[in-house]
Amino acid sequence: MKKRKARRHLPPAATLVDYNDIIRTVLSAPNAAVYVYWYKRRAYPSVATVIDGDYWLVMLSMDGFMESAYVVENPRAYLSWPDFEPLGSLSEVLA
């Protein structure tokens, strides 16, 4: 959380509960975009959506543990990297 506050992804007064609420919101948004992020031949399911004007990305391990959650400053450029494989919306992927 310190890193998120330092990068101004979270306000200085944000709590762990606030951060968890953002993560839960991303992971439950039906229109959120789902990607597989590939790093060293390992797949990391990732879910991204806009919350209060910020484009948040939550990255998970294949075990279901959260690896990271952060604001993507330029989502169009960032998510067009070849390491990100788009799968569709959360509702499509879970259907």
User: Per-residue pLDDT for 10 more than 80?
Assistant: yes
Model confidence band, residue 18 (pLDDT cutoffs 50, 70, 90) = very high
Mean pLDDT of 3-13: 84
pLDDT for 81 equals: 94
CB 58 within 8 A of CB 46: yes
CB 35 within 8 A of CB 92: no
The DSSP secondary structure of 17-71, one letter per residue, reads HHHHHHHHHHHH-TT-EEEEEEETTEEEEEEEEEETTEEEEEEE-TTS-EEEEEE
Give how many domains the chain has, as a whole number.
1
User: Per-residue pLDDT for 11 more than 80?
Assistant: yes
Tens of pLDDT along 42-79?
999 999 999 999 999 999 999 989 999 999 999 999 99
Q: Which domain holds residue 89?
A: 2-94
